[in-house]
Amino acid sequence: MEDCMSGEEDYYSSDRESLDGLENEESDVPWVPPKGPCSKVITKESLLAAQREDLRRVMDLLSLREHHARTLLIHYRWDVEKLFAVYVEKGKACLFSEAGVTEVEKHNLNSSSPSTIMCNICMEDVPGAEVTKMDCGHKFCNNCWTEHFIVKIKEGQSKRIRCMTHKCNAICDETIVSNLVSKRHPDLAEKFDRFLLESYIEDNKMVKWCPSTPHCGNAIRVEDDEFCEVECSCGLQFCFCCLADAHSPCSCLMWELWAKKCHDESETVNWITVHTKPCPKCHKPVEKNGGCNLVSCICGQAFCWLCGGATGRDHTWSNISGHSCGRYKEDREKKAERAKRDLYRYMHYHNRYKAHTDSFKLESNLKETIREKVSNLEKKDSRLRDFSWVTNGLYRLFRSRRVLSYSYPFAFYMFGDDLFKDEMTNEEREIKQHLFEDQQQQLEANVEKLSKFIEEPFDQYGEDKVMEIRMQVINLSVITDNLCKKMYECIENDLLGSLQFGIHSIAPYQSKGIEKATELSVCRNPKVAYTEKCPIPDYHTNGMVTESGRPSCSGSSDESGCSSRKRPKKESLGCGKIDLNLPAEVIDRN
């Protein structure tokens, strides 16, 4: 279910001040200065710039060549903060040894070599010009190196190709790899370069491909928390953690189980268990269509409906000839009753989930109707000229309806036996369920009220009536927003927060809807981009790494500017596209 605010600009102006005033009256949370967006869209043009941004940070801090910086980042899965933390805690030597980085003095690398050298791989004498020496000091002929590189690339190990020497963990220079392979297999060298470039996405837990179909070619990078929901520039809204449709307040596991339950035949099996009995001969399910307890299968076998046992066809209204099943069989009855109870419970939550999902789809068509109503009101001679409250209320309805819809799959698993049977006693489960359902019912009642006022034909009313509807819409918008926040706080603190095994995390509530990722700027001068976007981290004695002046997003919408404030306009000074076909040295020089 996509948030209908997708593709729209921020509408929270004018009447937004009145909404903020009402919020401040009911909330003691201090105002937080606005911060920039927490997610970025990485296109094909900006992928190289995004990768080189992290490379530059490591190169400048540790005074390394690009090859060594990339080796470190690939080893630590492009987690710059973790890399810096290991550097502070364990030192440079440990950092390099774990990643397979070997620094050799330049005079050793550039020292003169004899005219002929025996390669220890092929055991042949080769000219010194046809021998390549790696940073670790080991040297072999170019033919052996090339064969080694080709095999490793074909095996899928192209991002971390180690030296051929036994027990040497040094990573080979990717520039040398590309140059040697390109002389024999240009297409394989191109594949190697592409693997290195895309490793920024494939190995980086904070960067993932957009799951759109057909694929838009974009990737999304988040700053701090991978448990979030984002919107790509192509318009797709998805959960960054599991790449499924946005499903908050359900956790990823809950939504995976619910989607499977809704789409496979598990509930059909439950219905068959409750309403049919298997034929004792052919084992096909048979549904009873009359009052007599002697039923016949299409295969011709007669059996007793009460116990399922095979019988003859002779019977009266009171009994079946030669058959008696008056003995109580507890296990069979318990199994049938449990299947019936599980089916009815699933139907309860699924019906409400589907009802709100259908309402969301129908209310999505209100945008055109609202525009027509506002257009009609603007033609009238009235002192009311600002109608942003209608748009604000409409998008608040979309977001609240979406939260309400996904709260039912959450409740199905939170208070069922599938996931948390051993986490809570029956008494604790009952208390928490009543607490959650009270909040759920309050939200549901106010969402329906807001929907009623939004659908009113207010363009046909008088000015006083329109003003009355305006205040109702503004008040209900604030109320539903606060109720959504309280529901998320209840889920995060009272329900999921009290679990012993913290495997269920949800995306934080966003008052302004799912954040739309902004496109990553591609700057021609990477050094300027580095100093502006990536300040040098501050290091403390406890080993923690922080960045001074860098905006971050917390899990709470009340403390995070990315969830409750307007997005700043994108800076475009000095930025353009980078030609991916140019070498890195040329890009730096430009």
- d(CA 476, CA 455) in angstroms, rounded, equals 14
Pairing state of beta strands 515-516 and 229-231? parallel
The strand ranges marked E within 219-362 are 219-222, 229-231, 237-239, 276-278, 285-287, 294-296, 302-304
Phi-psi region of 320 (alpha: psi -120 to 50; beta: other; left: phi over 0): beta
The strand ranges marked E within 454-541 are 515-516, 518-519, 537-539
Do 19 and 478 meet the contact criterion of CB atoms below 8 Å apart?
Answer: yes
- 163-185 in b/e form (b: 16+ CB < 10 A) is bbbeeeebbbbbebbbebbbeeb
For residue 111, which phi and psi values (nearest 5 degrees)?
Answer: -65, 150
Strand partners, 208: 220
Do 579 and 52 meet the contact criterion of CB atoms below 8 Å apart?
Answer: no
Q: Let me know if 252 is a catalytic residue.
A: no
Dihedral sign, Cα of residue 393, residue 395, residue 396, residue 401: positive
Angle between helix axes 142-154 and 186-202 (nearest 10 degrees) is 50
Do 530 and 233 meet the contact criterion of CB atoms below 8 Å apart?
Answer: no
Q: Which uninterrupted H or E stretch holds 196? A: helix 186-202
- d(CA 438, CA 9) in angstroms, rounded, equals 34
- 526-541 in b/e form (b: 16+ CB < 10 A) is beebbeeebeebeeee
| C-alpha distances in Å from residue 514, one per residue of 7, 433, 446, 557 | 11, 27, 21, 11
Residues 6+ apart with CB under 8 A from 348: none
The strand ranges marked E within 453-525 are 515-516, 518-519
- d(CA 79, CA 56) in angstroms, rounded, equals 14
For residue 303, which phi and psi values (nearest 5 degrees)?
Answer: -150, 165
CB atoms within 10 A of CB 486: 14
Pairing state of beta strands 515-516 and 139-141? unpaired
Do 64 and 521 meet the contact criterion of CB atoms below 8 Å apart?
Answer: no
Nearest to 396 by CA among 14, 17, 19, 18: 19
Dihedral sign, Cα of residue 571, residue 573, residue 574, residue 578: positive
Catalytic residue among 94, 122, 282, 292: 292
List active site positions. 292
